[in-house]
Amino acid sequence: MRALPALPIREILPGLGDALASAGSVVLSAPPGAGKTTLVPLFLLDQPWRGDGKIILLEPRRLAARAAAGRMAELLGEKVGETVGYRMRLDNRVSGKTRIEVVTEGVFSRMILDDPELSGVSAVLFDEFHERSLDADFGLALALDVQSALREDLRIVVMSATLDVERIAGLVGDAPVLKSEGRSFPIDIRYENRAAGESVEDAMVRTIAEAHRSEKGSILAFLPGQAEIARTAARLADRFGEATAIVPLYGNLSQKEQDAAIRPAPKGTRKIVLATSIAETSITIDGVRIVVDSGLQRLPVFEASTGITRLETVRVSRASADQRAGRAGRTEPGIAIRLWHSGQTAALAAFTPPQILASDLSGLLLDLAHWGVADPSTLRFLDPPPETTLREARGLLLELGAIDSRGALTPRGRRIRDLALPVRLAAMAVAAAEEGRAQEACLLAVMLTEQGLGGNGIDIEERLRRFRSERSDRAKAARGLARRMAAELGASKNAGPKPVLPGALLMHAFPDRIALQRGGRGRFVMANGRGAEIPETERLAAAGMLVIADLTGRAGAQRVLAAAEIDRSDVEGHMPEAIVTEEQSFFDRASRQVRARRVTRLGAIIFEEKPLPRPSGEAAARALADGIRQLGLAAVPFPKDVEQLRDRIGFLHRSIGEPWPDMSDTGLISRLDEWFVPFQGGAGGIDGIKGRDLAEGLMSLVPYELQRDLARLAPTHFEAPTGQRHPIHYDGDEPLLSIRVQELFGLKTHPAIGDGRLPLLLELISPGHRPIQTTRDLPGFWAGSWKDVRAEMRGRYPKHPWPEDPANAMPTTRAKPRGT
């Protein structure tokens, strides 16, 4: 304790030590600048329960991991790699002396999956957990599982500057909650509202220039992405002279460039750092005392329906805004300028949405299968993964041969999981290894997972060519990683005699995104049936076929971000099973008829087709059902009696429930294969659908033992005292009988159905068939408002009987006899 800096977190460190001595888990909340990232791990080094075990500190980003390790090593008077080291995908600095390992969240997930006992680890610290990355959520779920089943002695600390502490504490078993209220230095928060129509770059330049003129110290400005940073930097380039450096900071920069951005400005100079959310947590940029916050961030959003992840620019959460402001008070009193109106802060979401709710979960599902878990709900996730996204992930893993029908890992799936790559790219590398092309595939996969390597162009072949000759340390490390992965796959140093183009490899990763040009230059249809576009000025816009590795946008307007050219012979040579020739029956929407054809296709891509005679039987019925799904149930020509049958069954479903079937449009469309297809073998189009077949199909949904009850519970007609039968209407909220009032004379009880338990809604009509009154109580009507109705109707219809006592009068369908 005496050797640790006098930061606010020191006040609660003794309590943290006591809590971890008696409890397995602790939730720690401390504001930015309190010192939790560096002081907590160092403090825990001296705890008796640690023994000689390691302390693992998880950080959300590589930059934060390196910075935290560097600061702790500096406090110990050592170099990184001695007592304190770090471990990340392309860079390791650990040794036999290392007792504090700072790791990125994805690295920790692989550590615990490969060694479930976490041998030699005494404590795991989840820093900045409020960011709620998928890897952090998964890592915590695994750590809690290990703690409860294998390692009761494992300590877990969940830390953040802004955290929903009570919810987290409940997740980790009602863990003690410790809060540090102190901040290193005060921060003056100001608001500069960005005018409507003003670009974020213009607002940034204006605010930065004014802050630079009126305040001292370096400036950290938060922008949503790399493009906005580049535009802002260009507009600031000539404003301040050599005494002020303008430095970008984002994920695609090399380690040297990132480290240079957070290094203190030379004495007598100032620095303006233009950063994304990468600078939001766990780093200190010495000399920064002004933060300018655009209030925007770019988040990945996965759409299960399209299988793509797109980046969306959204408002930051209050937690992120607080983190950003906290960067201004790390080394001295600071100022945080927010480019929005002060009243808008309360409307911000409390926390950034968890990645688990908007991410591709195929990697998670594969890791769970490796862990021996088929149902994610058996693990403690703060937010359970959405079932729709899990369903899409299972489908992809089945398609790639990574899991079997029970969700268990296959031998191929084990090889895919062993590679530190996204699932699709790992599957590509495994498939390529079977063809003796592991080295080329691993090089391509690593390039695609490290943003910026080889440039950011659409043409992957060109990017790969540049990456092979790139001389940066990051590129060299990436090529080294690719060689190690290829060796794991058993690759020999000598690949095949002829290099394979990237597209032929990528087909194994993205079989659903093989695309054929259709509709002109730059317009493509993919094997999954969706369209995608490339700007006409790009070389690949003229390609006949592509395989698309990355795209963005919503369904129907997807823009290609990375692709490689292929041709049909590539598919036939490397994935012959993907191209099939088959006879298809399909619904022709224009003619509303069923057609047949023989096609050669790859998914939704049709290479050749030939018309065949019109189909019949089940094939025709299934095609017709597809047509109804397209057109909606309104296209089905239900006759009146069948429509009434549907209404009657639907009424019983609404009033009684199951097992009476749902007759709504949605309910019937979801069960077309049950009630429609088996009964429509003779129909060749919409116009050929027969009413009797529809009636038979609807009745097939009603359990046999209930069918005889239908007439009793929901009769088709009501027999009036006159002997006339009148239809009962079931299409409203309650059964309705529309009947001339004279036909009910003499009736002393209200008409009812369902064994007399459910009164009909009576619509009483005049001899001219105009509504007189509605009632659910006929005796009450006779005794009450009949008097007023009679007075009005006698004058309007004098030829019809209007007795004073209708309950005891004779019912009739006719006018009064002449002369009466």
Confidence of residue 125 (pLDDT cuts 50, 70, 90): very high
Mean pLDDT of the chain: 90
pLDDT at position 775: 92
Q: Is the pLDDT of residue 33 over 80?
A: no
Task: Give every CB contact of residue 199 below 8 A, 6+ residues apart in sequence.
Answer: none
Q: Is the pLDDT of residue 94 over 80?
A: yes
Q: Are 103 and 111 in contact (CB under 8 A)?
A: yes
Residue 437 backbone phi and psi in degrees, to 5: -120, 30
Read off the tokens for 166. Answer: 């009570």
Q: Are 145 and 177 in contact (CB under 8 A)?
A: no
Report the DSSP beta bridge partners of residue 189.
336
pLDDT at position 332: 85
pLDDT at position 410: 94
Whole-number Å distance between alpha carbons of 335 and 741: 82
**Per-residue pLDDT tens over the stretch 496-524:** 556 678 999 999 999 999 999 998 999 99
Confidence of residue 1 (pLDDT cuts 50, 70, 90): low
Q: Is the pLDDT of residue 14 over 70?
A: yes
Q: Is the pLDDT of residue 554 over 80?
A: no
Q: Are 291 and 240 in contact (CB under 8 A)?
A: no
Q: Is the pLDDT of residue 43 over 90?
A: yes
Residue 611 backbone phi and psi in degrees, to 5: -65, 145
Torsion 633-634-638-642 (CA) sign: positive
Task: Give every CB contact of residue 512 below 8 A, 6+ residues apart in sequence.
Answer: 307, 399, 526, 527, 528, 603
**Per-residue pLDDT tens over the stretch 190-221:** 999 998 889 999 999 999 999 999 999 999 99
Q: Is the pLDDT of residue 552 over 90?
A: no
Confidence of residue 281 (pLDDT cuts 50, 70, 90): confident
Angle, vertex CA 711, rays to CA 706 and CA 714, nearest 5: 95
DSSP 232-251: HHHHHTTTS-TTEEEEEE-T
pLDDT greater at residue 268 or residue 817: 268
Q: Are 224 and 294 in contact (CB under 8 A)?
A: yes
pLDDT at position 155: 96
Report the DSSP beta bridge partners of residue 526.
515
Residues above pLDDT 70, as percent of the chain? 96
pTM greater than the 0.85 cutoff = no
- Alpha helices, DSSP H only, in 601-690? 617-631, 640-655, 665-669, 672-675
HEC profile of 56-67:
EEEECCHHHHHH
Q: Are 356 and 377 in contact (CB under 8 A)?
A: no
CB neighbours of residue 676 within 10 Å:
25
pLDDT at position 184: 63
Rg over alpha carbons for the chain, rounded to the nearest Å, is 36
Task: Give every CB contact of residue 326 below 8 A, 6+ residues apart in sequence.
Answer: 31, 32, 33, 161, 183, 187
pLDDT at position 19: 93
**Domains of the chain as residue ranges with CATH:** 8-179 (3.40.50.300), 187-356 (3.40.50.300), 419-578 (no CATH), 633-712 (no CATH), 715-808 (no CATH)
pLDDT at position 15: 93
Which stretches of 80-147 are assigned E, i.e. beta strand? 84-88, 91-93, 100-104, 121-126
**What DSSP state is assigned to residue 503?**
H
Can you tell me which residue has the tokens 């002081």? 39
Q: Which of 99-113, 277-291, 525-539, 577-591 has the lowest mean pLDDT?
A: 277-291
pLDDT at position 519: 85
